[in-house]
């Protein structure tokens, strides 16, 4: 029996990995006989798969953004279905999760890029009043990994998937800071497991740069391990820290939609510096993976960057985000100036 998707964002200590299916042109095979289905996608990924489907979907949802109002309006236009397939990157997968939750139907995710780990995680990232909010706990039935789809994607958008893994380098440091200052409890089992995953990422850095099948598989497998860690330890501390809060603040202030992994790359660079946490090594690891962390890549001018950094402390306090380096480090205009020079 399929598990019922839950409205509330929760951690599931009994978390089990979705079934992972590897292979080319299997998309029609994931649709079971008699199943009515809808698709959440974007134009580019949809054009890659549309001719491979031998049965027409009841509805195709093209995702424009993940604002609460948009998501709810789009979901309402979907008829009752048995299956929803998310095809593309993070927004397609989050939209598919939202449809699955409302229709209580089976969910299959088909990543064609890795802009974030949304194809694997159970929570749904939506935007409410410009701020990121996670809702729901959705059970993904299957993830279809078709390397031929990744091959057609811009390499950059696959490599950036490493952002939601390298974020752990910053997040673990923040977790230590919080536990030292009495704001959170450390879970050393989760901490040690995450450290090992970071070593695995480092070992695979050239596979990721070259977007080989092994590199793509490694990203997916590490995502799954982080999902397991979060569900078992009851916190996202091992993977989400100040680099994510930086990303959320940039989105909030600029009101622009920027690829999640790209925001994280800049956030990781900024926070490794503020944490004094293997800064040079972290930058060279990103360079080895072919990830461009410069602030220009997320369209931040010197003034906009200063605005974000000087607003960060207020932003995390108001948003109730985890205690991190942002709460402890004094960020003044000299720090901002210095960082902007290094990261442009
Ligand atoms: Zn993320």
Instruction: Report pLDDT for 130.
Output: 83
Instruction: Enter the tokens of residue 206.
Output: 């050239």
Dihedral of CA atoms 178, 331, 272, 179 in degrees, nearest 10, equals -10
pLDDT at position 1 over 70: no
Instruction: Enter the tokens of residue 234.
Output: 């009851």
What is the Å distance from ligand 1's center to 250 Cα?
14
What is the Å distance from ligand 1's center to 83 Cα?
25
Lowest mean pLDDT segment, chosen from 44-48, 126-130, 132-136, 323-327: 126-130
pLDDT at position 181 over 80: yes
**Residue pLDDT, tens place only, 293-307:** 999 999 999 999 999
Instruction: Enter the tokens of residue 304.
Output: 């906009």
**Residue pLDDT, tens place only, 185-242:** 999 999 999 999 999 999 999 999 999 999 999 999 999 999 999 999 999 999 999 9
What is the Å distance from ligand 1's center to 216 Cα?
17
Alpha carbon distance 61, 92 (integer Å): 9
Mean pLDDT to the nearest integer, 280-287: 98
pLDDT at position 129 over 90: no
pLDDT at position 115 over 90: no
**Residue pLDDT, tens place only, 156-180:** 999 999 999 999 999 999 999 999 9
**Residue pLDDT, tens place only, 19-39:** 999 999 899 999 999 999 999
What is the Å distance from ligand 1's center to 164 Cα?
5
CA distances from 255 to 129, 132, 154, 267 (A): 10, 12, 24, 17
Lowest mean pLDDT segment, chosen from 180-184, 256-260, 275-279: 256-260
Q: What is the DSSP string of 2-46?
A: PPPPBSS----TT--PPEEEE-SS-GGGGSPTT--EEEEE-HHHH
Q: Are 58 and 78 in contact (CB under 8 A)?
A: yes
Give the chain's mean pLDDT: 96
What is the Å distance from ligand 1's center to 51 Cα?
31
| Residues near ion ligand 1 (Cβ under 5 Å) | 164
Alpha carbon distance 127, 116 (integer Å): 15
pLDDT at position 153 over 80: yes
What is the Å distance from ligand 1's center to 271 Cα?
15
What is the Å distance from ligand 1's center to 243 Cα?
9
Residues pairing with 41 in the sheet = 62, 87
Alpha carbon distance 284, 100 (integer Å): 40
What is the Å distance from ligand 1's center to 151 Cα?
23
CA distances from 133 to 28, 41, 89, 222, 340 (A): 33, 21, 18, 23, 29
- For the chain, state the CA radius of gyration: 19
What is the Å distance from ligand 1's center to 147 Cα?
22
pLDDT at position 135 over 90: yes
Up-side HSE of residue 201: CA atoms within 13 Å toward CB?
Answer: 28
pLDDT at position 90 over 80: yes
């Amino acid at each position: 029996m399929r598990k019922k998707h839950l409205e509330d964002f929760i951690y599931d200590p009994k978390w089990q990995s979705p079934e992972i299916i590897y292979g080319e042109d299997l998309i029609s095979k994931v649709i079971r006989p008699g199943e009515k289905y809808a698709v959440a996608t974007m134009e580019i990924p949809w054009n890659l798969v549309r001719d491979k489907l031998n049965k027409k979907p009841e509805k195709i949802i093209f995702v424009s953004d993940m604002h609460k109002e948009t998501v709810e309006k789009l979901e309402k236009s979907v008829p009752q279905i048995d299956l929803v397939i998310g095809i593309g990157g993070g927004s397609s997968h989050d939209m598919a999760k939202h449809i699955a939750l409302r229709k209580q139907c089976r969910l299959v995710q088909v990543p064609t890029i890795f802009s974030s780990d949304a194809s694997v995680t159970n929570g749904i990232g939506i935007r409410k009043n410009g701020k990121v909010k996670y809702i729901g706990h959705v059970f993904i039935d299957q993830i279809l990994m078709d390397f031929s789809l990744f091959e057609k994607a811009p390499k950059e958008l696959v490599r950036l998937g490493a952002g939601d893994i390298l974020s752990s380098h910053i997040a673990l440091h923040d977790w230590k800071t919080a536990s030292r200052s009495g704001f959170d409890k450390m879970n050393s089992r989760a901490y040690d497991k995450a450290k090992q995953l970071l070593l695995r990422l480092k070992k695979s850095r050239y596979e990721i740069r070259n977007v080989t099948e092994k590199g793509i598989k490694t990203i997916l497998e590490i995502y799954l391990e982080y999902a397991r860690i979060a569900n078992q330890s009851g916190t996202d501390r091992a993977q989400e820290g100040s680099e994510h809060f930086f990303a959320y603040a940039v989105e909030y202030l600029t009101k622009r939609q920027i690829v999640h992994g790209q925001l994280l790359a800049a956030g990781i660079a900024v926070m490794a510096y503020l944490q004094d946490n293997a800064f040079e090594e972290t930058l060279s690891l990103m360079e080895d993976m072919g990830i461009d962390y410069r602030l220009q890549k997320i369209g931040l001018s010197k003034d906009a960057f200063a605005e974000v950094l000087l607003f960060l402390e207020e932003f995390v306090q108001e948003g109730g985000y985890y205690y991190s380096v942002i709460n402890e480090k004094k960020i003044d205009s000299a720090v901002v100036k210095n960082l902007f020079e290094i990261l442009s």
